[in-house]
C-alpha cells in the first residue's frame, strides 16, 4: 500500500465536488474551519457549479480531480459532498498521476466509487470521512467528527469499542485484513466493471442511507452471488439510516436481513458502528490493516498516513 504524507500546519488543501453540487453556505463554513486549523484552501474551478444533480460536466469535475493531484503544493484533496456522479469519470482518471503524486483523499457516500477505484488501481490509502458541505459545514456537527480529522496530522492507530457507540455481534470470532468498502449501493455498482470491489481476506465495511430493507436484501444478495461476502474475512457494519423517522418494523426487518447474510458465514461481524451518514461520523482509513474482534466488540485500525 501507499501511505500519503501527513498534513502540517500551513499546508494547502484542495476542495473538489466529484459528484453533486454543494450547499455554498455550508461549504463556506467548513472552509472557514479548515482555515482556523491553519490550512490554505484552494477550491476547484467547478466545485461550486450546479448542473442539476452534478457539480459541472464530467470533464470539468475530472479536470478538478486531476489538477488537485497534479499540483505538488496541494497536500490533501477533500470532497465537498457526495450525491451522484463520481463513477461517471472513473474510467478516465489518470491513475499513474495518482501514483506519482500520492496524497490524502477524503470523503464518503458516492465517493466510495473513487475510494475503491483509487485503492485497487494505485494502492493508495484513502479516507472514509465526513465531507465539508454536507457534514462539517454545520454549526452543530459533533466534536468527535472534527476530532478524528487529527488522524491526518500524524500516524494514529484507531480503536473503536462500545465507549463510542453500542455494538451488536452478528457473528463471533476475530479476523484481520485490509479495511475496504463503504456505501453498499456504490459497491454493488462496481460489480462487473474493471473497478469491481475486491474483498478476499479483507474486512468489508458496509453503510448506506434511505434504503428499504428489501433493497438492502437485494444488494446483499448481489454481493453474495458475486462471491464477495464469502471471500471477505469479516464485516464492519456501519450506519444504515433508513429514514429520519424509521419505522420499527422496517428496522427489525433490516436487522434480520443483515444477519441472514453474514451470520451463516461464521465470520466475525459487528454492527452499530457510527461510520456513514450519521453524526458523529467516525472517520477511518481504507486500505490499512485492521483487526475486528467480534467477541470483545472492538475494532483496531492501523494509521493511514506516514
**Residues with catalytic function:** 109, 207, 277
Burial class (CB in 10 A: 0-12, 13-18, 19+), 251: middle
Which grid coordinates are listed for 224? Answer: 453474495
Which grid coordinates are listed for 206? Answer: 458496509
CA distances from 11 to 64, 72, 104, 196, 217 (A): 19, 11, 12, 34, 44
Amino acid at each position: 500500500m501507499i501511505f500519503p504524507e501527513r498534513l502540517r500546519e500551513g499546508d494547502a488543501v484542495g476542495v473538489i465536488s466529484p459528484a453533486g453540487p454543494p450547499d455554498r453556505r455550508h461549504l463556506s463554513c467548513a472552509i472557514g474551519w479548515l482555515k482556523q486549523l491553519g490550512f490554505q484552501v484552494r477550491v476547484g474551478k467547478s466545485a461550486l457549479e450546479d448542473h442539476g444533480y452534478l457539480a459541472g460536466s464530467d470533464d470539468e469535475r475530472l479536470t478538478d480531480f486531476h489538477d488537485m493531484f497534479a499540483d505538488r503544493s496541494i497536500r490533501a484533496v477533500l470532497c465537498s459532498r457526495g450525491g451522484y456522479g463520481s463513477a461517471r469519470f472513473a474510467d478516465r482518471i489518470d491513475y499513474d498521476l495518482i501514483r506519482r503524486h500520492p496524497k490524502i483523499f477524503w470523503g464518503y457516500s458516492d465517493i466510495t466509487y473513487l475510494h475503491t477505484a483509487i485503492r485497487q488501481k494505485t494502492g493508495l490509502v484513502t479516507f472514509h470521512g465526513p465531507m465539508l458541505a454536507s457534514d462539517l459545514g454545520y454549526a452543530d456537527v459533533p466534536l468527535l467528527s472534527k476530532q478524528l480529522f487529527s488522524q491526518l496530522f500524524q500516524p494514529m492507530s484507531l480503536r473503536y469499542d462500545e465507549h463510542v457507540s453500542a455494538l451488536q455481534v452478528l457473528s463471533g470470532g476475530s479476523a484481520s485484513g485490509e479495511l475496504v468498502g463503504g456505501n453498499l449501493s456504490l459497491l454493488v455498482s462496481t460489480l462487473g466493471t474493471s473497478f469491481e470491489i475486491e474483498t478476499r481476506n479483507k474486512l468489508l465495511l458496509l453503510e448506506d442511507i434511505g434504503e428499504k430493507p428489501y433493497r438492502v436484501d437485494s444488494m446483499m444478495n448481489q454481493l453474495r452471488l458475486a462471491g464477495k461476502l464469502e471471500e471477505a474475512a469479516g464485516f464492519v457494519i456501519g450506519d444504515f439510516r433508513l429514514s429520519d423517522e424509521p419505522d420499527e418494523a422496517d428496522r427489525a426487518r433490516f436487522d434480520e436481513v443483515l444477519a441472514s447474510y453474514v451470520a451463516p458465514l461464521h465470520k466475525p461481524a459487528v454492527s452499530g458502528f457510527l461510520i456513514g451518514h450519521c453524526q458523529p461520523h467516525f472517520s477511518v482509513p481504507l486500505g490499512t490493516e485492521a483487526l475486528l474482534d467480534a467477541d470483545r466488540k472492538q475494532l483496531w485500525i492501523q494509521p493511514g498516513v506516514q
